[in-house]
Chain A
Amino acid sequence: MTTSTTPGKLLTPQQVADRRAQASHTSPCVSMFARMLLRAAVLRRRRAASALLAMIVSAAVATAMMNLYVDVQAKLRTEFRNYGANVVIVAKDGQSLPADALAKVESVLGAKTKTLAVPFSYAVARTHDGQSVVVVGTDFARARQLNHWWKVSHWPDAPNEALIGMRAATVLSPKIGPNRQPFELTFQGKAIELAPAGMLQTGAGEDSRIYLDQSEFQNWTGVAPSTIEVAANGTAAEVEASIRQLTQVLPAADIRPVRQIMEGEANVLNKTRATLYASAMLVVLTSALCVLATLIGWVFDRRRDFAIMKALGASERLINGFFAAEAAALGVVGAILGFFIGIGVAAWIGRVNFHAPVVPRFSVFPYVLAGSVAVALISAILPIELLRRVQPAIILRGE
């Protein structure tokens, strides 16, 4: 800081020492190290770029696979909820559920989103010619959401409109023409005039029934809901917990899981997850192999640098450190870039296949980072171990 030097003029050892002291906040050794790392990348742009590309692709593929693996269960579970209710609440001994049952169910399950509870009440009415037919009161808006598989020509939207099951329609057929004439049903002497809104086709018991709006049904028959069908979202354990909670809130009712749905779902989910896991492992392994192949080539390619450094008296630790730092830097940069590309790929797969974006999971990042750096280090150390046994002179002579 005392003397200023002009370029080209030789410095005395004192001056050099002074300048070093001046630049003491960055240790000379570190700055040299950083410079070597940077120059190595810049000078061999092409090879470094291809190594980095391999790194990015592997990290991207690994990220996408892990994201999908974590998310696919939630995605498939949403698909499975289309199967309808997985929990059924039935009043004991043919009675009705308490009036506040639905509110209670919703308050218990309300915390969780996408949980749907639909009330059903049943009565047997008679048609004009004395045939028995089951009439069901329900909430159409909810039933429509719960039972996606119902094939309905037109949902009722006006008062006194009913949904007629396919087979029930054949009984009423003389009365139901294309012009949707109203028909009459009687329950314990009370008659009601209904207009058919649409036809319902399910292939199951619903086909023989007539569906009415709950409040109209209750005004007519005085029968309150006896069944609530619930589509509870979540893992098997979460559904179990919901069932336990509901049992406490509604001691007067029988609450049971629909085993057919629960078991089928568990079955398919487990198998799919296992397959996906195996595939993800294979893909991640392959991409690690790709990095390994590229990096080994890269390091071998630079055996001349290695020999010169050694000839200039660099310690083995320094050389190892240098190559390791280079590999680690490559791993970090590749992991960061690959992570974001991988999230994009996962989101794209989610959109294409599940019609819903896959939520990016940043918790995956540490694993991708650690994996990338580990693979990069392994692929750098492996060829160095081989090179170490060779005399620098032999490498420099080009043999």
Chain B
Amino acid sequence: MFPRIVYESFRRQARRKLLAGIAITLGVAVATAMIAVATDIGDKINRELRSYGANLVVTPQEDTLDVEVGGVNLKPPSDGAFLNEADLPKIRGTFWHHNIVGFSPMLPVTVKVGEGNNNNKDAKDVTLVGTYFNKALSFGKDDFTTGVRITHPWWKVEGSCGDGRLARPGRVEDSPSSCGWPDDNSQDVLLGERLAAKLAKKPGDTLEVDGRQLTISGILSTGGAEDNQIVAPLALAQQILGKPGAVRRVYVSALTKPPDALSVRDPKTMTPEVYDRWYCSPYVESIAYQLQEVIPHSHAEQIRQVAQNEGTVLSRIKGLMLLITLAALFASALAVSAAMATAIYERRVEVGLMKALGAGNLAVSAIFFAEALLLALVGGIAGFSAGALLARQIGRSIFNSQISIEPVLFPIIMTIAVFVTFAGSAAAIRRAVKFDPVFALRGEG
């Protein structure tokens, strides 16, 4: 009898059930989408924040002072210690290698630029920086590319493409443009914007640097010190310096967790369990520690301007999304409750009839709760799928990447859907059950 009543109720009152079902579906869809977006936004914004540039720098342990004013190095070039280029791929072997977006080595060399030989009076002292542009490396079985195009996304290059067309930064048709960027194994260089204006050079010209004829593949604009420098492939800078394999410093761009009380503690003073927890959290401090472990004789330090502020921005945005998700959950719970209350309130006459025929309060409530459960399950499943699509759409249109829906979210969402539907129905069911059958049957609803 019980299943039949429930079944017939759905069959005969399809339209009303539809209304409540739609409310549940929409409510669950919104809740799913919001939870998915909120749990993923940290990662997404973290990646966006990487466009601020590297947040870690690795330097040789016994490094001497930089004597640098306005991007011009005043120190003798061979002075100081170096890191070994061969150690760099090991960065991909650290515990948090998945969080390392990219790294670029830097080797500044002071060179003379000008026509003729080194004794030319017109020759100028200019800093040439050797680096990776988009270098293919491998560590173990892991093949990857890294370089300034990943770690320094605000560097813009204007240069000629293969077909002689000038590539303009920011144009959609040129992206992903490799126009103007030199090859990592070539002898081509990028010339800083201001330096190019001073020397009156344009892409395709040759430049004499310490007696070598180098081709300018593009003009580099960064808004920083590099505008007055030459940027060359690392191997070329090492040749000029005469120190193969030398690297002055490495910029590392890593996805990190905002700092908290644990992150700032000194690992030396930690108990083993705390140390494990610290080591296995992607704090900027623990990643720095791991970088020092893999690169011999190195000192890794967070670039505080980037690393510290990133944490605050990230936690603000995450907090905001969390609160909004709560608002969304609240609104959808309310919508579901309202729909359920309406659906039940309309059926008081039915309740009166059932009670007049001898049904107890418990039996009547059981019928209503069974219907609510069924509605919640059907609406929950439909809403979860719709919400997953919605989250994916948001991810694709805003972040150009997938927002992954964790499978563990499904039982949570279903529980929430059932709970909210019950909570929304409870008050209405209680009132319907309490309603005097005499009034109901006399039609005085």
Contacts and interface: CB of A to CB of B under 8 A. Distances in A.
Interface string A323-366: 00000000000000000000001000100111000000000000
Contact of B331 (A201, A204, A286): A286
A260 interface: yes
B45 interface: yes
A301 B30 CA distance: 28
A259 interface: yes
Interface string B358-400: 0000000000000000000000000000000010001001110
27 contacts: A57-B330, A57-B331, A57-B334, A61-B327, A79-B316, A83-B309, A122-B69, A124-B69, A134-B66, A167-B65, A168-B65, A202-B304, A203-B305, A204-B57, A260-B224, A264-B154, A268-B48, A282-B328, A283-B34, A286-B27, A287-B334, A297-B346, A300-B342, A352-B323, A353-B320, A354-B316, A398-B349
Contacts of B34: 279, 282-283
Which of A84, A149, A151 is the most central at the interface, judged by chain B CB atoms within 10 Å of its CB?
A: A149
Given A283-B324, A353-B320, A149 B65 contact: no
Nearest to B394: A278
A279 B326 CA distance: 11
A83 B52 contact: yes
B328 A76 contact: no
Contacts of B75: 132
Interface stretch (A13-21, A29-37, A288-296): A288-296
B70 A227 contact: yes
Contact of A132 (B44, B65, B324): B65
Interface string A245-277: 000000000001111111110011001101110
B223 interface: yes
Given A283-B30, A293-B23, A61 B331 contact: yes
B30 A286 contact: yes
B179 interface: no
Nearest to A84: B305
A204 B249 CA distance: 11
Contacts of A294: 338, 341-342
Interface in B328-349: 328, 330-332, 334-335, 338-339, 341-343, 345-346, 349
Nearest to B75: A132
Interface of A: 50, 54, 57-58, 61, 64-65, 68, 72, 75-76, 79-80, 82-84, 90, 94, 122, 124, 131-134, 147-151, 167-168, 171, 201-205, 207-208, 226-227, 256-264, 267-268, 271-272, 274-276, 278-280, 282-283, 285-287, 289-290, 293-294, 296-297, 300-301, 304, 345, 349, 352-354, 397-398
Contacts of A151: 304
B210 interface: no
Interface in B389-437: 390, 394, 397-399
Contacts of B57: 203-204
B70 A261 contact: no
Contacts, number: 224
Nearest to B325: A279
Contacts of B328: 279, 282-283, 286
Contacts of A150: 304
A57 to B, nearest CB: 6
Contacts of A260: 52-53, 152, 154, 222-224
A124 B67 contact: yes
B376 to A, nearest CB: 15
B304 A201 contact: yes
Given A257-B223, A275-B321, A289-B335, A149 B304 contact: yes
Interface residues of B, number: 76
A203 B301 contact: yes
A279 B321 CA distance: 9
A282 B64 CA distance: 56
Contact of A205 (B19, B23, B66, B330): B66
B104 to A, nearest CB: 14
B354 interface: no
B70 A122 contact: yes
Given A203-B57, A297-B341, A272 B45 contact: yes
Nearest to A79: B313
A20 B313 CA distance: 69
Contacts of B67: 124, 132-134, 208
A287 to B, nearest CB: 5
A301 B51 CA distance: 57
B85 interface: no
Given A132-B65, A282-B30, A283-B328, 14 more contacts: A58-B331, A134-B65, A171-B65, A203-B301, A204-B304, A205-B66, A208-B68, A267-B48, A286-B30, A286-B331, A289-B26, A290-B335, A293-B19, A398-B443
